[in-house]
Amino acid sequence: MGKTVEQRVIEIVEQQLGLGGNEPVTAEQHILNDLGGDSLDFIEIVMAIEEEFEIEISDDAAEGAQTVQEAIDLVKRLVD
């Protein structure tokens, strides 16, 4: 069985920020404030999500996805 949208987005965030392992990323965490990412990391996460799911995310939509859960919800809306 394939990975869920949630698992795939969390893996992308972990990979882009060099996280995971002992302290896994959770959906409630803020990508910049809680996980220590910066604006460049955020752009790279958005680009990786676009590539992984073969979608295009507008700048306005990306700005609304500040937590991991918001990014997951955005992907779900765009792939359905």
- Select from 80, 14, 4, 9 the least CA-distant residue to 51: 9
**With the CA atoms of 37, 38, 43 and 49 taken in that order, what torsion angle do they form, in degrees rounded to the nearest 10?**
10
Of 34, 38, 59, 60, the active-site residue reads 38
Instruction: List the end-to-end C-alpha distance of the chain, in Å, as a whole number.
Output: 19
Q: Is there a catalytic annotation at residue 73?
A: no
What residues are labeled active site? 38
